[in-house]
Amino acid sequence: MSLVHSTPVTGDPLCGALMVQGTTSDAGKSTLVAGLCRLFARQGVSVAPFKPQNMALNSAVTLDGGEIGRAQALQAIACGLAPHTDFNPVLLKPSSDTSAQVIIHGKALSTLEAKAFFGPQSQGYKTMALAAVMQSYTRLQQQYSLVVTEGAGSPAEINLRQGDIANMGFAEEADCPVIIIADIDKGGVFAHLVGTLALLSPSEQARVKGFVINRFRGDISLLQSGIDWLEAYTQKPVLGVLPYLHDLHLDAEDALIDNPQSTLSTALSASQRLSVLVLVYPRISNHTDFDPLRLHPHIDFHYVTMQSMAQASEWPAADLVILPGSKNVRADLAFVREQGWDLALKKHLRYGGKVIGICGGYQMLGEWIDDPLGIEDNVGCSDGLGLLPITTVLTASKTLTQVRGHLRLQGQQVEFSGYEIHCGESSLIENITQPLSIEQYADQPMPVTKLDGMVSNDQQILATYVHGLFDHPAACQLILQWAGLESRHAIDINQIREQQLNRLADVLEAHLDLNTLKGIIS
């Protein structure tokens, strides 16, 4: 496998490796790596991101026909690179509370129970996974001057340390320097850093070259005595204290972020805004589809969760309800029925509301979903919601490709781009309008024309296998007009992403001791 996007820049000002680990999940590892990638790329460094092993349901499709964690795709964009499977060679996608699909170099291999990853029987998996990790890392080292690696969770999880490939196990194997980031907004930042360091082996402790404190609010002078104590106690420098960044809009890998009510909002009245609800099931996937809707100044956006509905008798009034993707479609469809959301959805349609189904949500809207091989869960067939004339069979082969084409709605046609990532193959059982014409697949050299999705005869339901439609401003605007939003304001999420990455790099440049950091790398 070869990389197709870059070769090292002659005379790079920085050369080496760095790994960012965190005291906890959501400490800021992904964001710090993305910011460093953009900062160094702006300085002319040939830099690439890397995450040995990731566990996430939000993934991105790469040009080489695989899938990686969403955070690594964002970090690749920060470097000015096309996402590639070498940036995240091992991806675990949970399909239940105890099992996950194993994806090596972008391709799904099997579904394993948790003990196969972390228990006493895990050595076979870890040997295979470590080999894949080091193959990708070696290729990146050969093509880039700097590789910035992101750890996973915390390196101090005692029960997961044997055979670790995600944190210190990788750092030791790759002989890579480490910095540790901690989130002060959670509280206990000094205990987090000192405790994490104390639970590492002597060689791992020596590998830690400094700390970063994240999400600080207030007067920095009030923190100085704590920083002085930490540096004296650990004999390791604090490389910077990063401020809490309000309205930082970057792709989230796991966290569901509701309507941000940010500076992007406008003073439109409620009657002029479009109310959008997205259903959240246990195995929701690729919810980054909805970032352009969350940030749209003319949309009231909300996720519907089991927790939010426990405090309400019914859904809030909505113009549009979206059924997103799912990693376990039949189980999530059963969850929808358990919550009574199937009945609420049909009531929403009776009152004239619009519905969109994307990928797994598209499959749920059909007549039935059959999993004869147990691809996602137990072997079996489930009745769908019966709102669209399709049937779906889950197959062992997985569609993974970027696509381009045209979207036709309400007599208008616009270009779109996006990606497909699904196991199911759906068949129409009666003629119906298919609004998407796919004319280019990234994994096929010759142009093609294939129709996708459907619009119900009453024009109330739109469904498709294509993710990322809202990322394209023209397609997003047309779909929102179909849903009832009269405003012609379009959000360009790609432009916002670029602005936010540069903002993040500016903050790192202002608040990190870059001379010390570069000395650690070199």
How far apart, in whole angstroms, are the C-alpha atoms of residue 362 and residue 388? 9
Beta strands in 324-367 (DSSP E): 325-326, 354-358
How far apart, in whole angstroms, are the C-alpha atoms of residue 373 and residue 395? 7
- The pLDDT value given to residue 12: 60
Q: What are phi and psi of 172, to 5 degrees?
A: -70, -45
Per-residue pLDDT at 376 exceeds 60: yes
How far apart, in whole angstroms, are the C-alpha atoms of residue 424 and residue 142? 38
Per-residue pLDDT at 270 exceeds 80: no
How would residue 110 be classed by pLDDT, with cut points 50, 70 and 90? confident
pLDDT in tens, 308-344: 887 677 888 899 999 999 999 999 999 999 999 999 9
Q: In terms of Cα–Cα distance, which of 492, 370, 356, 320 is closest to 436?
A: 356
Per-residue pLDDT at 264 exceeds 80: no
Reported as type and span, the H/E element at residue 61 is strand 59-61
pLDDT in tens, 386-439: 999 999 999 988 899 999 999 999 999 999 999 999 998 999 999 999 999 999
- The pLDDT value given to residue 117: 59
Per-residue pLDDT at 271 exceeds 70: no
DSSP for residue 272: G
> Which whole number is the average pLDDT over 145-155?
97
- The pLDDT value given to residue 6: 40
**Other beta carbons within 10 Å of 513:** 15
Mean pLDDT, the chain, rounded, equals 90
- The pLDDT value given to residue 316: 85
Rounded alpha-carbon distances, angstroms, from residue 298 to 57, 248, 277, 317, 469: 28, 19, 14, 16, 18
pLDDT in tens, 223-242: 999 999 999 999 999 999 99
Point out the catalytic residue in the list 359, 422, 423, 472. 359
Point out which residues pair with 108 in neighbouring strands: 103
Q: In terms of Cα–Cα distance, which of 82, 140, 166, 64 is closest to 73?
A: 82
Q: What angle do CA 400, 282, 107 make, to 5 degrees?
A: 20
Residue keyed to tokens 């084409």: 405
| 467: annotated active-site residue | yes
| Total residues belonging to the chain | 522
- CB of 212 within 8 A of CB of 251? no
- The pLDDT value given to residue 105: 94
What percent of the chain stands above pLDDT 70?
91
pLDDT in tens, 435-480: 999 998 887 777 888 999 999 999 999 999 999 999 999 999 999 9
Name the residue with higher pLDDT: 229 or 163.
229
Domains of the chain with CATH codes? 17-248+499-521 (3.40.50.300), 270-486 (3.40.50.880)
Point out the catalytic residue in the list 249, 287, 296, 467. 467
How would residue 147 be classed by pLDDT, with cut points 50, 70 and 90? very high
Three-state DSSP class for 63?
Answer: coil
- The pLDDT value given to residue 120: 57
